[in-house]
């Protein structure tokens, strides 16, 4: 017996119904409205500046999804995720610029889509390499391992060797019109936004389905108690490495997307602070929630944009404020982390869960 409104709770007869995507007509309507706003409302009715801000929100969420998988769902601390985003970006760039594609591949416009997939795989495998110590260590020692990934990958390999390919110095220049998907050239803010929206939607769908599957349940069991999970027969090493691969794959996709949003690619786009930023995104958005990665990205990007709007007019009276904006931004980031850890440790996703349940269960929301 199926229900439509679920007024006083969830009525499910089996596990498939409990984990279903579309559990009621009301939920379908909400998702249709969300997709309409994402794919029609934002790109068609907002100025290009706001579209570019929305693109930055999506890029941040794409990077944070992998961090959320490792920290929120598997309990593996990472502080070097920007390195794997960089691997995806540089792999995609090298394939687009340097690889001798057959002419028909270039004419069909599939070189860049292929490079996105290959960039994700390369970043996933690179992430697994630095995830190998998780078989023996965890906590503080794993943090040092992931930090080493950042410094070895970005500061050493990419800066000293990969960036020198082709004699370009420290940056790869991306000529206009080189980023194509089929007959469409990704050369405007709206087109870049659409690419981000499609990739982010696919990544959310993949992660949500993985979490409902055997690997997802194994990841949560490892996060809650890895000793008990191993006693129950879960191969914790295999599933930890799988988590690193999926997280790295998502990071590589994010990096390959970033190639379409920049005219030149350099290691400066992937500093260690970006890894810390992504951890802060999920702490603010909510650890252990896909919504948390998106809400955290929204909060961080919009707050920093608002801070910039506030600083620019004040710089007319205090010129040094504009020069010190980077320091002000870092201070605001730290204050936001402290405030959420003290006053809202469960993050924005928890408040969203409360509001959603209150609305869905009305008038019996008590």
How many residues appear in the chain? 366
Q: Give the pLDDT confidence score for residue 186 in this predicted structure.
A: 92
What architecture is domain 47-360?
Answer: Orthogonal Bundle (1.10)
Dump pLDDT digits (tens) for 66-106.
999 999 999 999 999 999 999 999 999 999 988 988 988 88
Residue 184 to residue 132: CA distance in whole angstroms: 40
Q: Which string of DSSP letters, residue by residue, matches 235-274?
A: -HHHHHHHHHHHHHHHHHHHHHHHHTT-SEE-GGGS-HHH
Residue 179 to residue 109: CA distance in whole angstroms: 8
Q: Of residues 139 and 319, which shows the higher confidence score? A: 139
Lookup: tokens for 112: 């860049």
- Alpha helix stretches (DSSP H) within 151-289: 159-160, 189-211, 214-224, 226-231, 236-259, 272-285
Q: Give the pLDDT confidence score for residue 11 in this predicted structure.
A: 67
Dump pLDDT digits (tens) for 220-232.
999 999 999 999 9
Give the Cβ contact number of residue 212 at 10 Å.
16
Q: How confident is the model at residue 339 (pLDDT cuts 50, 70, 90)?
A: very high
Q: Give the pLDDT confidence score for residue 112 in this predicted structure.
A: 94
pLDDT above 90 coverage of the chain, percent: 61
Q: Give the pLDDT confidence score for residue 165 in this predicted structure.
A: 76
pTM strictly above 0.85: yes
Dump pLDDT digits (tens) for 279-297.
999 999 999 999 999 999 9
Residue 185 to residue 192: CA distance in whole angstroms: 10
Q: Give the pLDDT confidence score for residue 169 in this predicted structure.
A: 60
Residue 327 to residue 320: CA distance in whole angstroms: 11
Mean per-residue pLDDT for 249-278?
93
Point out the least confidently predicted range of 7-16, 75-84, 209-218, 319-328: 7-16
């Amino acid at each position: 017996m199926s229900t439509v409104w679920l007024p006083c709770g969830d009525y499910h007869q089996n596990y498939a119904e409990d984990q279903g995507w579309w559990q009621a007509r009301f939920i379908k309507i909400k998702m249709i409205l969300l997709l309409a706003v994402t794919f029609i409302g934002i790109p068609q009715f907002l100025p290009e500046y706001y579209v570019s801000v929305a693109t930055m929100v999506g890029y941040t969420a794409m990077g944070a999804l992998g961090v959320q998988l490792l920290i929120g769902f598997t309990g593996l601390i990472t502080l070097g995720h920007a390195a794997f985003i960089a691997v995806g970006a540089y792999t995609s760039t090298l394939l687009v610029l340097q690889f001798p594609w057959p002419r028909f591949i270039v004419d069909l416009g599939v070189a860049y889509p292929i490079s996105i997939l290959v960039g994700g795989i390369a970043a996933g495998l690179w992430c697994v390499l630095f995830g190998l110590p998780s078989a023996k260590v965890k906590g503080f020692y794993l943090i040092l391992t992931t930090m080493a990934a950042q410094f070895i990958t970005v500061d050493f390999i990419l800066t000293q060797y990969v960036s020198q390919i082709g004699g370009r110095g420290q940056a790869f220049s991306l000529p206009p019109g080189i980023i194509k998907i089929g007959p469409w050239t990704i050369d405007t803010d709206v087109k870049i936004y659409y690419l981000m929206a499609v990739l982010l939607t696919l990544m959310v769908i993949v992660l949500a389905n993985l979490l409902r599957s055997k690997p997802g349940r194994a990841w949560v069991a490892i996060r809650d108690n890895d000793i008990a999970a191993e006693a129950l027969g879960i191969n914790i090493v295999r599933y930890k490495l799988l988590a690193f691969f999926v997280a790295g794959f998502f990071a590589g996709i994010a990096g390959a997307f970033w190639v379409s949003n920049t005219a030149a690619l350099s290691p400066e786009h992937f500093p260690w602070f970006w890894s810390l930023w992504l951890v802060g995104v999920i702490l603010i958005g909510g650890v252990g929630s896909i919504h948390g990665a998106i809400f955290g990205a929204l909060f961080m990007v919009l707050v920093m944009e608002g801070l910039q709007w506030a600083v620019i007019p004040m710089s007319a009276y205090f010129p040094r404020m504009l020069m010190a904006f980077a320091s002000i931004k870092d201070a605001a980031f730290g204050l936001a982390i402290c405030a959420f850890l003290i006053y809202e440790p469960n993050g924005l996703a928890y408040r969203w869960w409360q509001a959603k349940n209150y609305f869905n269960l009305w008038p019996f929301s008590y």
